[in-house]
Amino acid sequence: MKGSLNSPEMEGVTPEYVSQLGKEWLDWLVDVTPDEELASLPKPGHLLVQEYQEGLQEGLQEGLQEGLQEGLQIGEQKGRQEGEVAILLRILRRRFSDLPDWVEPKVLAANLDTLDAWIDRAIEAHSLQEVFGDEAARGTTLL
């Protein structure tokens, strides 16, 4: 221990200085009341509020991110569906000229898989029944 007090870092640190530091620290411990010590500690309520705020912020961020992703996917799917509706109606109009009134609402209500199938059929179909199958025959006049 004596060797460590003689190191260059300890130069100027005398036994009196160490004694004085110890006395000041002890005086501080004696002078601090339990209420003051408690007041210096973080409040459990503050920690709970902080954790709640952090959790809320994190939840909002995750919710926004998921909402954005979902919105993009829905928008992409809707855009694709609108594009396929436009393509199918264009093909049908070019192949069969004037379309019966039931065709456009039927095409607008179709899902992507159905639209894909109808587009494939419409390219070479000779009638609307060949495009829409039995669905075209239900109470409608076919071209």
pLDDT digits (tens, 9 = 90+) for 16-75: 877 777 777 777 666 767 666 666 666 666 777 778 788 888 888 888 888 888 888 888
Who's near 43: CB < 8 A, 6+ residues apart?
A: none
Whole-number pLDDT of residue 143:
44
Spell out the SS3 assignment of 83-94: HHHHHHHHHHHH
Task: Please say whether the beta carbons of 129 and 137 come within 8 A.
Answer: yes
Q: Which residues contact 77 (CB under 8 A, 6 or more apart)?
A: 112
So what's the pLDDT on residue 100? 94
Residue spans of the domains in the chain: they are: 74-143
DSSP assigned state of 7: S
Instruction: Kindly indicate the confidence band of residue 120, based on its pLDDT and cuts at 50, 70 and 90.
Output: very high
Instruction: Please compute the mean of the pLDDT values over residues 77-101 and round it to a whole number.
Output: 93
pLDDT of residue 29: 67
